[in-house]
Amino acid sequence: MNQPLTLTAAQKAGPKATVIALGLALAVLVAMPLLHLLPAEHALHVSAYTLTLVGKILCYAIVALALDLVWGYAGLLSLGHGLFFALGGYAMGMYLMRQSAGDGLPAFMSFLAWNELPWYWYGTSSFLWAMCLVVLVPGVLAFVFGFFAFRSRIKGVYFSIMTQALTFAGMLLFFRNETGFGGNNGFTDFKTILGFSISAPATRATLFLATVALLTGSLYLGFRLARSKFGRVLTALRDAENRLMFCGYDPRGYKLFIWTLSAVLCGLAGALYVPQVGIINPSEMAPTQSIEAAVWVALGGRGTLIGPLLGAGLVNGMKSWFTVAFPEYWLFALGALFIVVTLYLPKGVIGLIKRRGE
């Protein structure tokens, strides 16, 4: 870890090239939902499949960015970020289920012969309250977990294992029908959001644009944090926590802040993922999902903010292609990719681009 990881691609490849690349990417992402609104016969029409796929990848990119903030800067490798993503998704899903159920109970509850809503479902028919839950549930869980973990000075691999256990426990809990979140089927069959049909092109386009806005906002926030003194303290914390304490900084507050912020970003990404993809179930909390997120960050280059976005895009793009072309080989390809990155690209794709640029 003796390399200046805080140097961003922007500083190395020249700020101009990065700004142009980012601008182009943003223009394409804004154009896509607009082209989706064109009639289906039009040559430039973007299909609902493509739009959903890209929207899904963008949600994953936000997770990658959030994970980079805690792993790349503060050195906390979380193998449980899928939990925060899924919780945000479930909070949004509760609202969508209430929308499609109207005045009745959500369908899965009727199957279980329940007569009334569990207490934690109250108020979820309100979009505003659902949005509050999207932020509060992952945020409060991360805060409480982080408070105790950082107070006990748990770090390194022990911290990673605990986050992994946390998401696994969450998955087992949500698999149970009695938990009241639809068991292993989760939530699906959504119909409307805020009264608009969820499959209408205009709704899809709006959700997509909201995702692009969240991604851009998160990236901006990440850059501001990384360049502030706060970001430098995080880097210092990652490399020499003892030294930082002898300088008079209390690492706990710093870790807790970035950890909670990261969880909230994941929750928001999950909330945008669910209406676009149309389903949320406990498999989103599976440990492998969270590990895959770490692969995106490592592949893109941690501590670079832009790298993890590329990583999430590349891996998920490959995944959709592989699962169509050679479905049985995807996991081998993912494994091989991770090995190659670890052995030959310690600083990820961004590191490779930088080296080319020099």
Partner 1 sequence: MKTVPCSAVIDGFDPTGGGLTRDAIGLGRVAEKGLDVRHGTILSLEDINVSFDGFKALTNLSLYIGVGELRCIIGPNGAGKTTMMDVITGKTRPTSGSAWFGETLDLTRMSEVDIAQAGIGRKLQKPTVFEALSVFENLELAQKTDKSVWASLRARLSGEQKDRIDEVLETIRLGQSRHRPAGLLSHGQKQFLEIGMLLMQSPQLLLLDEPVAGMTDAETEFTAELFKSLARKHSLMVVEHDMGFVETIADHVTVLHQGQVLAEGSLQQVQADERVIEVYLGR
> Rule CB under 8 A: which residues touch partner 1?
1-6, 147, 151, 225, 228-230, 232-233, 235-236, 238-240, 242-250, 252-254, 256-257
Vertex 19: Cα angle to 276 and 78 (nearest 5)? 50
* Three-state SS annotation for 286-325: CHHHHHHHHHHHHHHCCCCCHHHHHHHHHHHHHHHHHHHH
What residues pair up with 193 in beta bridges, in sequence order? 196
C-beta of 234: minimal distance to partner 1 in Å? Answer: 9
CB nearer to partner 1: give 165 or 247. Answer: 247
Say if residues 74 and 254 touch (Cβ distance below 8 Å).
Answer: yes
CB nearer to partner 1: give 36 or 238. Answer: 238
Cα distance between the two ends of the chain: 21
Say if residues 158 and 165 touch (Cβ distance below 8 Å).
Answer: no
* Three-state SS annotation for 150-198: HHCCCCHHHHHHHHHHHHHHHHHHHHCHHHCCCHHHCEECCCEECCEEC
Kindly state the helix (H) or strand (E) to which residue 193 belongs, with its residue range.
Answer: strand 192-193
Residue with the two structure tokens 């609902």? 48
Kindly state the helix (H) or strand (E) to which residue 99 belongs, with its residue range.
Answer: helix 81-101
C-beta of 245: minimal distance to partner 1 in Å? Answer: 5
CB nearer to partner 1: give 15 or 253. Answer: 253
CB nearer to partner 1: give 28 or 247. Answer: 247
CB nearer to partner 1: give 73 or 90. Answer: 73
CA–CA separation, 319 and 186 (whole Å):
23
CA–CA separation, 181 and 179 (whole Å):
6
CB nearer to partner 1: give 11 or 126. Answer: 11
Backbone φ, ψ for residue 79 (5° rounding): -110, 30
C-beta of 280: minimal distance to partner 1 in Å? Answer: 32
C-beta of 342: minimal distance to partner 1 in Å? Answer: 20
C-beta of 144: minimal distance to partner 1 in Å? Answer: 12
C-beta of 17: minimal distance to partner 1 in Å? Answer: 22
Which SS3 state, helix, strand or coil, does residue 188 take? strand
CA–CA separation, 97 and 334 (whole Å):
34
CB nearer to partner 1: give 164 or 235. Answer: 235
Residue with the two structure tokens 């390809």? 333
C-beta of 203: minimal distance to partner 1 in Å? Answer: 37
Sign (positive/negative) of CA torsion 354, 77, 261, 286? positive
C-beta of 290: minimal distance to partner 1 in Å? Answer: 26
CB nearer to partner 1: give 176 or 232. Answer: 232
CA–CA separation, 24 and 42 (whole Å):
23
